[in-house]
């Protein structure tokens, strides 16, 4: 099998175009993270913007604000991990190739 630099460049351009398509769809991709048995839920989009937070009244104890803060941080972390996985899957689907480990931003 001969290496054709023109084919290589064309493949790179195709992948770059597909990645651009994914970038355009990031705002429409969303994921949820939760903590405390779903006492705190966080919605995040593919641009890493938190789009919503729901807190069950059972999680609100004025004597234990620290616990609520920890639940919020944990739910945000969970949402962040979930959206990264969704983005990775979407990119793999659109490009037809798995994303390499350590791919920037994922």
- Determine, yes or no, domain membership for 60: yes
Q: Residue 16: inside a domain, yes or no? A: no
Indicate whether 38 belongs to any domain.
Answer: yes
- Give the per-residue pLDDT at 100: 61
pLDDT score recorded for residue 26? 85
Q: How many domains does the chain have?
A: 1
Phi and psi dihedrals of 96, rounded to 5?
75, 15
Supply the range of the domain harboring residue 45: 30-95
Looking at residue 106, its pLDDT comes to: 61
What is the domain-level CATH number for residue 41? 3.30.1310.10
Please indicate, yes or no, if residue 59 is contained in any of the structural domains.
yes
Mean pLDDT split into 10-residue runs, the chain, 106 residues = 77 77 83 97 96 97 96 98 91 71 61
């Amino acid at each position: 099998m001969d290496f054709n630099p023109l084919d290589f460049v064309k493949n790179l351009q195709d992948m770059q175009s597909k990645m651009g398509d994914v970038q355009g769809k990031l705002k429409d991709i969303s994921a949820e993270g939760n903590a405390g048995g779903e006492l705190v839920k966080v919605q995040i989009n593919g641009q890493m913007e938190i789009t919503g937070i729901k807190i069950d009244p059972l999680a609100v104890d004025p004597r234990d604000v620290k616990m609520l803060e920890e639940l919020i941080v944990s739910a945000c972390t969970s949402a962040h991990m979930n959206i990264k996985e969704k983005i990775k899957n979407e990119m793999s689907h659109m490009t037809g190739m798995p994303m390499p480990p350590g791919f920037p931003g994922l």
